[in-house]
Amino acid sequence: MYSEAPPAIRVPQITVLDAGGQYCHLIARKVRDLGVYAEVRPSETPAAQLAGRRGLIISGGPSSVYDAGSPTVDPEIFQGRQAVLGICYGQQLMAHLLGGVVQKGVKGEYGLATLELDGGPKTALFTGLPERQQVWMSHRDLVTAVPAGFSNLAATSTCAIAAMAAPDRSLYAVQFHPEVVHTTEGKQILARFLFDVCGCVKDWDPRHRVALIEEDIRRTAGDRNVFFFVSGGVDSTVAFTLCLRALGPDRVRGIYVDTGLMREGETESVRRMFDLLGAGTVAIEHVEQQFLAPLALVRDPEQKRQIIGEEFVRVQERVIASHHLLDGHWILGQGTIYPDTIESGGTEKASVIKTHHNRVAGIQQLIAAQRIVEPLSAYYKDEVREIGCELGISEDVLQRHPFPGPGLAIRCLCAECSEPVSKTPDGYLIPVRSVGVQGDERSYAPVLALDRFPACDGILQNEATELINRVRGVNRVVARVASRIPLSEMRVWVSTLSVERLARLRSADAIVRRLSHASGFDRRVWQFPVVLIPMGSAAQPDAVVLRPIDSVDGMTAQSVAMDEPLLRLMAQALLEVEGICGVFYDLTHKPPATIEWE
Ligand code: XMP
């Protein structure tokens, strides 16, 4: 499902056609930053359904136009009824459909490049911009001949057709990504497309959002009340606060489920936070035993998720029944944000996650009856943060990193048998399996450990990518930061998701959060999972893995390097925790590893 535009926007001026790229949301976000509302639609949306748009942007994507079933667009969109900008795969698709030539690339080009304009009269896209500019490239295939009627506008050293246009038909395309910050003139290029080529007018002013959303909540709720399952995360907190403001505290109820899998101090901080927001109506359900008892002997990640999902269902059903929330006076509030509503952005696992949370019969009943309000479903995460800021929600809450529903359970790994680590020509093989994602497949494989300190230059991160491509059967590489015994003497120990190990992980996580907050490192990363693996000595059987990553939306991620003094400080504090023998650093990007270890 692709979400509807807010009521004040009758027909969006710009539609981003989603060709499967991780950046399609970023494009829409950047267009909105320029003051024009943009929506995202599937690339194949028929041209007739796009009537009235001033411009269309075809996003990038990982496919080749020659792959069977690769995303395409309705060729009618090129008939000049509105301007079109193709980005990356969008340029290749435009060339391919209009008679140009796309050459299948072998190696591709990833990273920074210098774009040189062709020196002739500039098209609207580049008016007033420097002849040479830095751009960011990420592509395999290339356009090698423009379609009839197009001219070549720019080149890089490895890409002869880096931009092309047929201005009389309002068709433009670029091989690089104007939406990422590394393309220095990217914002200007998008602005020229919006205002000079499409003739857009500004219709999106962040300052009007709160009033619009509140009006929408009142219209949807009518005379009914709203209840939320709140998590303490940014989205549900902002959505809940908007409902509180729109309807008043008597008509909004929040329920927080304490599963026993939360971080240190989480339940108290959620209680304090909702008190501060003026919600006297957040009930805390203490159900720790209900979760911890069935998890006590489970090791398999999917089984863990299954149990947690099922227990969530039970708790939600019980709460819904006991609070009479299915009678006609209540609707469900959810903190769903725009990327959550886009099916094509989801991964295999995203759909598993969704079924866990959505399959509660009571909730499905409410959704089917449209008894649901999702005030943030047209917004991106950073817009949600801005809205939260306007509502006076504290920075500490708004800058929180995402935390997964199954909590610490998917960051506490277990092993079925005791085994030593083994030396290989490439490093030490740790017989603890973690989850990865390679292509569309989930992998579940052992980890390779390097006995080298992870310097802050990120070099080991590059080596990790190369190693995983070369070494069969591993999907993740870590580096040893510090340990009480040499890596070669460590063993993996039989272990379960015990209360003791969860407490150990909770302490480690609290230390990392405290130090990364105090140093400002938490602002440099999108998320920072702390993982416990059952590897160490007999006396100290566990190790901590640090997994700071940067990401746009969690679907892909880059391992982020940390400065040495902070890393050493963190490692020293972690080695003081009872039972911790070593500290490791996850060097792997996603793909091939997932963010969570499970
Ligand atoms: P992975 O591990 O798949 O995670 O790379 C991607 C993002 O999703 C979060 N995540 C979850 N969030 N319920 C959630 O609410 C879940 O079951 C869940 N599993 C993973 C993860 O923290 C990361 O931000």
- Whether residue 591 is preceded by a cis peptide bond, meaning omega within 30 degrees of 0, is yes
Locate the ligand 1 atom nearest the alpha carbon of residue 305 and give its number.
17
Q: Is 541 in the pocket of ligand 1 (CB under 6 A)?
A: no
Q: Verify whether residue 24 is a known catalytic residue.
A: no
Buried b (16+ CB within 10 A) or exposed e, 38-47: bbbbebebeb
Residue 358 confidence (pLDDT): 47
- In this structure, the strands spanning 225-230 and 171-174 are unpaired
Residue 426 confidence (pLDDT): 96
- Please tell me what DSSP assigns to residue 104: P
Q: Is 232 in the pocket of ligand 1 (CB under 6 A)?
A: no
Locate the ligand 1 atom nearest the alpha carbon of residue 597 and give its number.
2
**Domains within the chain, CATH numbers bracketed:** 14-197 (3.40.50.880), 209-407 (3.40.50.620), 412-586 (3.30.300.10)
Locate the ligand 1 atom nearest the alpha carbon of residue 406 and give its number.
17
Q: Verify whether residue 88 is a known catalytic residue.
A: yes
Query: What pLDDT tens digit does each residue of the chain (598 aa) get?
Result: 466 677 667 799 999 999 986 678 889 989 998 999 999 999 999 999 999 999 999 999 888 999 899 999 999 999 989 999 999 999 999 999 999 999 987 666 777 889 999 987 788 999 999 999 999 888 889 999 999 999 999 999 889 999 999 999 999 999 999 998 789 999 999 999 999 999 999 998 866 789 889 998 999 999 999 999 998 999 999 999 999 999 999 999 999 999 999 999 999 988 888 888 877 667 888 999 999 999 998 999 989 998 998 898 889 889 989 888 888 899 999 998 877 765 433 333 344 443 445 455 777 788 788 899 999 988 888 889 999 999 999 998 999 999 998 999 999 999 999 999 999 999 999 999 999 987 667 889 999 999 999 988 889 998 998 899 899 899 999 999 999 999 999 999 999 999 999 999 999 999 999 999 999 999 999 999 999 999 999 999 999 999 999 987 787 789 999 999 999 999 999 999 999 999 999 999 988 899 999 9
Amino acid at 206: P
Residue 8 confidence (pLDDT): 67
Radius of gyration, CA atoms only, the chain: 25
Q: Quote the pTM value.
A: 0.74
Residue 362 confidence (pLDDT): 73
CA dihedral 380, 382, 384, 390 (to 10 degrees): -150
Q: Verify whether residue 317 is a known catalytic residue.
A: no
Distance CA(169)–CA(191), nearest Å, equals 19
In the block, residue with structure tokens 């069935």: 294
